[in-house]
Amino acid sequence: MTLALFVYNFLLFLGAPVWVPLVIWRNLRRGRPLLGGGFSAADAASLRGTKVVWLHAVSMGESLVGVALYRRLAPLLPGFSWVFTTTTP
């Protein structure tokens, strides 16, 4: 393990007891799930029985590429539902 990775993991270990409760508090305040996200039952039900293309992006750059990909592929895939998810709000 490199020194940088060790330091990163150590700081993450030290920060988690502060960071996790803050994330939970923020999500409770905003009416979101405590941790994580995902589809609600209503979201899943609305997609049931349809063909779905699911694009997931982590960074802003990936989000921009996902939008461009959607614009190119959507006309070629009529009848498909599209789901675009990201890791940030």
36: Cβ–Cβ under 8 A, 6 or more apart, which residues? none
Enter the pTM of the model: 0.55
Question: What is the per-residue pLDDT for 39?
Answer: 67
Check whether 48 has a pLDDT greater than 70.
Answer: yes
Q: Give me the mean pLDDT over the 65-84 stretch.
A: 94
The DSSP element (H or E) to which 40 belongs, if any, is none
Q: In this predicted model, what pLDDT tens digit does every residue of 75-87 receive, in sequence order?
A: 999 999 998 888 7
Rg of the chain, C-alpha, whole Å: 18
Say whether 18 sits in a helix, a strand or coil: helix
Q: Which two tokens stand for residue 24?
A: 């939970």
Q: Categorize the per-residue pLDDT at 62 as very low, low, confident or very high, splitting at 50, 70 and 90.
A: very high
Comparing CA positions, the residue from 76, 87, 83, 82 lying closest to residue 37 is: 87
